[in-house]
A and B are shown apart, each in its own frame.
Chain A
């Protein structure tokens, strides 16, 4: 028999940092060019069109302001990140547990799902002032609560979709091996759901930062990034406000990349789009 010849077989990807980073350096070049060009145009346009610098500071000004106040800004960012991360962990953790329960007891899931989807459409951020009343406005809890609720629904809906998107033949196969429900969960449903879960977790990183910062706009300790951005804006110190926004971006992006990195580690088996 000569049919053992490999057909359309791609080389086996090896683990390691190269694959985890995913892209080669050359692939990043266009993105870096765009970034540099944008900053240059922004910098020059403000002089060229005589835009009031206190309304939209030049990137260089924001950068120097950040550098001068880096200690205060970064520690404010760290505090805010802790609140965002706490909310993220609680919201996502509870959402995944609830999704597992709803997938296991399908009847309950079918009864609750419409409400979960409806609740997902509620602008939860509107509750931020009230959350400050529920908890002490100076505590971390109120910010974590808003961040957690923001993270909860997208993670719940995505995880549940992942857990229930197993094909019928897959279940028939497991039944033919007399596999128990727990084995089907462990070996089929959970791995099938993982890509869905990570997509939701990445969305949740952004949501948790938004939740924490907006909640801080309505009150928080003076070291909070949201409080800092809010108070600087009110005193027309826009440079400092922009520097604060920059720090929020730094933490937000770092958080996102960290989760994306864990995703790469957890889903190493996935066909890579960049190879």
Chain B
């Protein structure tokens, strides 16, 4: 059974913006799917529709064989935004435990899971720190730990590393792949960065704007596990070129200058 099945999804916002039209996308368990495209192509909207944070105007989303709403109420997905959205009044450990508290886990079970999660994102020793005492990259790792803490079947990530510097971003990309390999979850990852999409995904979904639609899907055959060395391989550059070409075709550069925003 597929984890996500999007069929015939369209979204028109009040005001008439045609954010998405006729989206068809099926995601299998264990996949890492990137959504990439210029601003206004509806990639974040699509992510939020999968997570039942926005309702589609038409079409269906099935997550784990259920409606998106049912999946949200069953806590089937974890979400990570560009901003870590950590609560300053909670320590790192308590931030990670927030979804567990809401799900009614008892104290002992929570403590054990917090330990595992701090291990997973390599933040041992920071349990009692407050978010403002951490660097941006560390905050985002806490956010990822929180999203994975309750073993969601699906991890939705909306440009999680978009606000970080290039070096931190590459390092977190490496770490994210390790976390993904260990946790075995399915990931949908929205990004502006071609290199990031190629490095991380098993499949790159290219979107184009007005109306937001899927213009092409590029399977990514880079071998696993991927490491920093993967970025040096010829196949990596071939795929980067392929994605870049697809982006430009989809966005029609002459009329849509913002395609330039989708950068390497």
Identify the A interface with B (CB < 8 A): 1, 3-4, 6-10, 12, 167, 169-170, 172-173, 175-179, 183, 187-188, 191, 194, 267, 269-271
Contacts and interface: CB of A to CB of B under 8 A. Distances in A.
Contacts of B156: 176
B178 A173 contact: no
Given A9-B129, A178-B72, A3 B122 contact: yes
Contacts of A269: 88-91, 130
Of the four ranges (under 10, 10 to 19, 20 to 34, 35 or more), the interface on chain B belongs to 35 or more
Given A169-B85, A179-B102, A8 B135 contact: yes
Q: Which 9 A-B pairs have the closest CB atoms?
A: A7-B135, A4-B122, A269-B89, A176-B79, A191-B89, A178-B73, A271-B132, A177-B99, A3-B171
B88 A9 contact: no
A176 B138 CA distance: 22
Contacts of B172: 3
Contact of A1 (B51, B101, B134, B175): B175
B215 interface: no
Contact of A177 (B102, B128, B175): B102
Contacts of B126: 6, 9
A187 B72 contact: no
Nearest to A7: B135
A176 B102 CA distance: 11
Interface string B94-137: 00001101110000000000000000001110101110111101
Contact of A172 (B73, B79, B132): B79
Most buried by B among A4, A179, A183, A270: A4
Given A1-B175, A6-B135, 16 more contacts: A3-B172, A3-B175, A4-B122, A9-B135, A10-B133, A169-B81, A173-B85, A176-B51, A176-B78, A178-B102, A187-B98, A188-B87, A269-B90, A269-B130, A270-B88, A271-B132
Contacts of A187: 87, 98, 101-102
Contacts of A9: 126, 129, 133-135
Contacts of A1: 122, 174-175, 178
Nearest to A172: B53
A7 B138 contact: yes
Contact of A167 (B51, B85, B90, B124): B85
Nearest to B138: A7
Contacts of A3: 122, 137, 171-172, 175
Contacts of B88: 269-271
Interface of B: 48, 51, 53, 72-75, 77-79, 81, 83, 85, 87-91, 98-99, 101-103, 122-124, 126, 128-130, 132-135, 137-138, 156, 171-172, 174-175, 178
Contacts of B103: 177
A253 B137 CA distance: 43
Given A1-B174, A188-B87, A12 B75 contact: no
B85 A177 contact: no
A165 to B, nearest CB: 13
Nearest to A170: B85
A178 B75 contact: yes
Nearest to B90: A269
B263 to A, nearest CB: 24
A173 B175 contact: no
Contacts of B174: 1
B133 A173 contact: no
A176 B53 contact: yes
B13 to A, nearest CB: 15
Contacts of B51: 176
Contacts of A178: 72-75, 102
Contacts of B101: 187
B123 A173 contact: no
A169 B53 CA distance: 10
Contacts of B72: 175-176, 178
A194 B88 CA distance: 12
A6 B123 CA distance: 9
Contact of B123 (A4, A10, A188, A271): A4
A191 B87 contact: yes
A7 to B, nearest CB: 4
A169 B81 CA distance: 8
Contacts of A177: 75, 98-99, 102-103
A178 B99 CA distance: 9
A193 to B, nearest CB: 11
Contacts of B90: 269
B165 to A, nearest CB: 11
Contacts of B134: 9
22 contacts: A1-B122, A3-B172, A4-B123, A8-B135, A9-B129, A12-B133, A167-B83, A167-B85, A169-B83, A170-B85, A172-B53, A172-B81, A175-B53, A176-B72, A177-B98, A177-B99, A179-B102, A187-B98, A188-B87, A194-B89, A269-B90, A269-B130
